[in-house]
Amino acid sequence: MGKSKLLFITHEMSPFLELTKISEITRQLPQAMQDKGFEIRILMPRFGNINERRNRLHEVIRLSGMNIIIDDNDNPLIIKVASIPAARMQVYFLDNEEYFQRKHVFNDKDGKFYADNDERMIFFCKGALETVKKLGWSPDIVHCHGWMSALVPTYLKTTYKDDPTFKHSKVVYSIYDNEFTESLDAKFAQKAVMADMTEANTEVFKAGTNNALHEGALQYSDAVVLATDKIDADVLNYVKNSQKPVLEFEQTADFENYYNFYDEITTDELVNVA
């Protein structure tokens, strides 16, 4: 496949933040694909409990300075980068003082789900795509991991569908175990609307539940990965009815199944391999 370009968007990755199985996959899969010849970029939020000094994060001035608009408010975006020397990979971190500089990730010290998790998600998804544009790097595949990336497929197939950076990108969404049981803010779907979109584009997200986010991401993705064998029955049924190419759950040491799946997607032979 030569130097195909593969973008990973995730809210966690080992060794920076380890909350669930996602952090293992997003550490091992990119390296495995890089070893097979892919050019890799990885984006994640810079949550407040990620130690900048220990992980040697530093700001990328040429990428920072953008503002991400949410609900008519401007929110500054700071981009930082860190390297994984053993893997020769760089990870870009999206930072914002209001949204990410907290000691806890998605729940406060008392375990309460943050009321603005919807806006934090919107900020991350919009910011990730704007960062890639500013990098001047056009991914062949955008692979989204975790609920916090669920709006990316929607934005790519609406606002960014004719953007030269993403015009030919295929979007893959990985489904994991249910990551939260609460619901996002009631106005989430409305706030998520971007340019060249209407509320009809985000209607599927309206319930703000974990399942609603999965279904919304699936609706706009080109392909889906079942990253666990414990997927909610309703979501699994939605996947099967979507008739999208599906990579079934299978644990392999070398991720050869992912490599073959990416290959099928980028050659436009969208055959269901389930």
Q: What is the pLDDT of residue 86?
A: 79
Token code pair at residue 54 = 């220990």
Q: Given pLDDT bands bounded at 50, 70 and 90, which one contains residue 268?
A: low
Q: Walk me through the domains of the chain, giving residue ranges and CATH numbers.
A: 5-266 (3.40.50.2000)
Per-residue pLDDT tens over the stretch 108-121: 999 999 999 999 99
Q: What is the pLDDT of residue 271?
A: 44
If residue 172 lies in a helix (H) or strand (E), which one and from where to where?
strand 170-175
**Positive/negative CA dihedral, 191, 197, 198, 203:** negative
104 closest CA partner among 116, 88, 86, 89? 116
**Amino acid sitting at position 158:** T
Compute the half-sphere exposure of residue 37: CA atoms within 13 Å on the CB side of its CA: 9
Alpha-carbon span 175 to 87, nearest angstrom: 25
Token code pair at residue 244 = 């999208």
Q: What is the pLDDT of residue 87?
A: 81
